[in-house]
Structure 1
Amino acid sequence: MSSSINHESICLPITFVNELSKSKDLPETLDLISHWLPQIIDADRASVCLHNGQEDTLEVYALYGNKAIQANTILQIDNTMVGRVFQSKTLEINNNLKESQDFDCRILHEGGLNSCMDVPLQKSGACFGTLNLGSLRENAYQTQHAVLLECIANWLANYLHAQMEITEQKKRAETDPLTKASNRRCLTIVGNELLNKWQSDKQPFAMIMMDIDNFKHFNDRYGHNVGDLVLVTFSQVINQVIRTYDHFFRVGGDEFVILVSGNVDAAEKLAERIRLEVAGMSVQYDIHNLHITISCGVTSAQLQDDSLESIYNRADQALYLSKKNGRDRTTVN
């Protein structure tokens, strides 16, 4: 169903408006927008780019159709049409991509597109992203298309901005402010989701529990600032090692948990890799070169588990054995 436009009104597909009002979170909303835009304004590609927190880049957060520039691609603001639209807060049309010097336009043309149109997403005068359309045809977009896309962008910007604020508030509520790992509250949510999948579909998952050996020593000898530096550095190592589909949590002072998709063998290998990476690093403080080690306890979801707490307790017991047997080791329970 296509939209129509005159000087006084815009008609949008009822299904689009209904689905948008029922979307549960920001990613679903972005996917809906990219899916419906080509049906509202004729296009072979639609995407939503958002400022990703880095000063000079945008990211393709949602995409439908032609994949010349894929989802999750990071685009520089400089030397791109999308970046210029973001900075100038002004819609642009390019109906002859093969002649463009903009990096993103050249990539789109190499992917088969010949026209594109980008419009800023703005709230209270601040631009936070863009809507982007592309067509295989040359001279695909005219003034009436620009008016329509700009009106849609202005309407969606308020909706998206509100969802982005909710998403950010939720993220803050579930994130440890020091290490940026997820917190205990988030562990309960994610862990129970994985447990439900295990109970219903037998999708395996495992838990790694870790703490820093003799952590109190760093606080007592060097001060809590150094203790915090140790925690932050340790967390950075974890984030470099774990996979994108693993989940990292800080559950206490120096106690951390990783939920691993897969069986206990995969979790044990990951725990050992982390342990060795940490043992090979050092924390620089003043003239001191501080070395740390960790102890790990590993377990997996088992048939008798009826709660996340039972898995947590078993991992805790494994961690206790690692510490009892000399620290700097991994124990599977």
Structure 2
Amino acid sequence: MSASPSYESICLPIKFMNALSRSQDLNETLNLISYWLPKIIESDRASVCLGNRPDETLEVYALFGNNAIKAKTILPIHGTMVGRVYQNKTLEIQNNLRKSEDLDCKKLHQGGLNSCMDAPLQKLGNCFGTLNIGSLSDSAYQPEDAVMLECIANWLANYLHSQMEISVQKKRAETDPLTETSNRRCLTTVGNEMFSRWKIKHQPFSMIMIDIDNFKRINDCYGHNAGDQVLINFSSVVRQVIRKSDHFFRMGGEEFVILVEGNDKSISKYAERIRQAVEDMSVQYEQSKIKITISCGVTSVHREDDKLECVYCRADQALYQSKQNGRNLTTVI
């Protein structure tokens, strides 16, 4: 273990601080932190965990080095060292992982680690995550290491909290508040990014445009609250069918768009699975059970397309044909 600096002279690498100042978003910042921590405090693993308030869990958002507990792992607060640090807002050192009864410590030891240290990330008395480091060696961390990690955590907490607030505000600005799908503004951003990748790297994508059939009739017969419930339930069903790599947007009213990445030759069958899932659903509203159907227009990006609007217009034409041909149909152009 390299000699630790005195309590009064903790220094951070200039490259680390410069990289943090240039980071574009929260994800990049978290990855930078996990990359640099083992260089500042000698370790074989570093990760950042953030709390999921509604679920009372912690998620490993960034990881560098030993992957005994992989990135995106969800950890319970109860029965884990990291959860205890999160709840008590107090740093802990475990220099003999083989003797620990904590779930995360057991996993780390099974992955070859023998020591770990966790520090809370807190702002104004509110803990929102932890910094975690681990070592293959026994008794790797001493009190001076704890002082350093705690100082780093306190400094980074302010930085991370600000970025998290920005991320929340950005997500709110790009999310439809009723259905919690992405909105039209987000479609423009994501769609143009995908179109740029198509032009530069020839990465194809497809668009599925959806319209809920006879939606005005639902509002007229049952009221707008019922219409809102239909939109919420419809969006939930679609999210269960589509893949995590797909992008789902509400254009406004009863119109929605799905952007599908990659060269999906079975895009028509994919759209049909979505249409069928919606046809099979029903919405319970007061004493009524509301059944709905959708019309779909499907297209993929073409070589001659010079902007995203070309794809959008073609999908819109396909949707129009589905409506003209009786609705509850999928048309591909």
The two structures have a TM-score, normalised by structure 1, of 0.97
Task: Give the secondary structure class of the aligned counterpart of 1:58.
Answer: strand
Tell me which residue corresponds to 1:71. 71
Matched letter for residue 118 of structure 1: D
Matched letter for residue 7 of structure 2: H
State the Cα RMSD in Å: 1.2
Task: Give the secondary structure class of the aligned counterpart of 1:54.
Answer: coil
Is 1:172 aligned with 2:198?
no
Contact 1:3–1:40 under 8 Å retained in 2? no
Tell me which residue corresponds to 1:243. 243
Task: Give the secondary structure class of the aligned counterpart of 2:137.
Answer: coil
Is 1:265 aligned with 2:283?
no
Task: Give the secondary structure class of the aligned counterpart of 1:70.
Answer: coil
Matched letter for residue 52 of structure 1: N
Tell me which residue corresponds to 1:187. 187
Counterparts of 1:48 and 1:93 in 2: how far apart (Å)? 16
Matched letter for residue 115 of structure 2: S
Counterparts of 2:121 and 2:56 in 1: how far apart (Å)? 17
Identity %: 67
1:330–1:152 Cα change, 3 Å: same
Per-residue displacement from partner, 1:200-221 (whole Å, max 9, x unpaired)?
Answer: 1211101000011111111111
Tell me which residue corresponds to 1:150. 150
Tell me which residue corresponds to 1:87. 87
Counterparts of 1:264 and 1:316 in 2: how far apart (Å)? 19
Tell me which residue corresponds to 2:47. 47
Tell me which residue corresponds to 1:122. 122
Per-residue displacement from partner, 1:219-263 (whole Å, max 9, x unpaired)?
Answer: 111111110100011101111111111100000100000011123
Contact 1:58–1:83 under 8 Å retained in 2? yes
Contact 1:279–1:293 under 8 Å retained in 2? yes
Counterparts of 1:156 and 1:4 in 2: how far apart (Å)? 19
Contact 2:4–2:145 under 8 Å retained in 1? no
Tell me which residue corresponds to 1:34. 34
Task: Give the secondary structure class of the aligned counterpart of 1:11.
Answer: coil
Tell me which residue corresponds to 1:25. 25
- In the TM superposition, what are the counterparts of 1:150-299 in structure 2 within 5 Å? 150-263=150-263, 265-299=265-299
Aligned length: 332
Shift of the alpha carbon at 1:7? 3.0
Consecutive unaligned residues of structure 1, counting only runs of 5 or more, are none
Deviates more, 1:42-51 or 1:53-62: 53-62
Contact 1:174–1:185 under 8 Å retained in 2? yes
- In the TM superposition, what are the counterparts of 1:318-329 in structure 2 within 5 Å? 318-329=318-329
Shift of the alpha carbon at 1:276? 0.8
Per-residue displacement from partner, 1:7-63 (whole Å, max 9, x unpaired)?
Answer: 312111111111111111100000000000001001111000001243410100000
Per-residue displacement from partner, 1:180-215 (whole Å, max 9, x unpaired)?
Answer: 111111101111111111111211101000011111
Per-residue displacement from partner, 1:240-290 (whole Å, max 9, x unpaired)?
Answer: 111111100000100000011123633222211100111111111122111
Tell me which residue corresponds to 1:314. 314
Shift of the alpha carbon at 1:140? 0.6
Counterparts of 2:326 and 2:137 in 1: how far apart (Å)? 69
Matched letter for residue 274 of structure 2: I
Matched letter for residue 190 of structure 1: V
Matched letter for residue 253 of structure 1: G
Tell me which residue corresponds to 2:12. 12
Contact 1:3–1:13 under 8 Å retained in 2? no
Contact 2:4–2:144 under 8 Å retained in 1? no
Task: Give the secondary structure class of the aligned counterpart of 2:265.
Answer: helix
Contact 1:80–1:102 under 8 Å retained in 2? yes
Per-residue displacement from partner, 1:134-155 (whole Å, max 9, x unpaired)?
Answer: 1111111110000000000000
Matched letter for residue 315 of structure 2: A
Counterparts of 2:158 and 2:115 in 1: how far apart (Å)? 27
Shift of the alpha carbon at 1:3? 8.6
Consecutive unaligned residues of structure 2, counting only runs of 5 or more, are none
